Amino acid sequence: DAGITQSPRYKITETGRQVTLMCHQTWSHSYMFWYRQDLGHGLRLIYYSAAADITDKGEVPDGYVVSRSKTENFPLTLESATRSQTSVYFCASSEKPYYEQYFGPGTRLTVT
């Protein structure tokens, strides 16, 4: 029972580079989410998806792009990484809207 996995777990990249964070869930949950966790800000929603091919912006979407061609995958791309995007990124999924969400282990991203 793998649940929800994220890769890579740690990533160091340079300013201006494109980087993609992967998220995969095995429950066939319809809803998936990307959050970032920063000291002083708690968890903030970047993007979410209600189903394959349906995505929408959250609280802090600027500089990020998502896609969802398959129900189980929800990759997050930083098109041109900036130092302000240094953070811990969590993917989550939920069976139904407004139900509890299940989180992946996170990706710690450092932009130098």
Partner 1 sequence: GDSVTQMEGPVTLSEEAFLTINCTYTATGYPSLFWYVQYPGEGLQLLLKATKADDKGSNKGFEATYRKETTSFHLEKGSVQVSDSAVYFCALSDGSGAGSYQLTFGKGTKLSVIP
Q: Which residues bind partner 1 (CB under 8 A)?
A: 31, 33, 42-43, 45, 48, 50, 56, 58-59, 90, 92, 94, 97-106
User: Given CA atoms 29, 59, 90, 107 in this order, what sign does their dihedral have?
Assistant: positive
| Pick 77 or 101: Cβ nearer partner 1 | 101
For the bound state, the minimum distance from the C-beta of residue 68 to partner 1, rounded and expressed in Å, comes to 14
Q: How far is the CB of 37 from partner 1 (least distance, A)?
A: 9
Which of 17, 44 has the CB closer to partner 1? 44
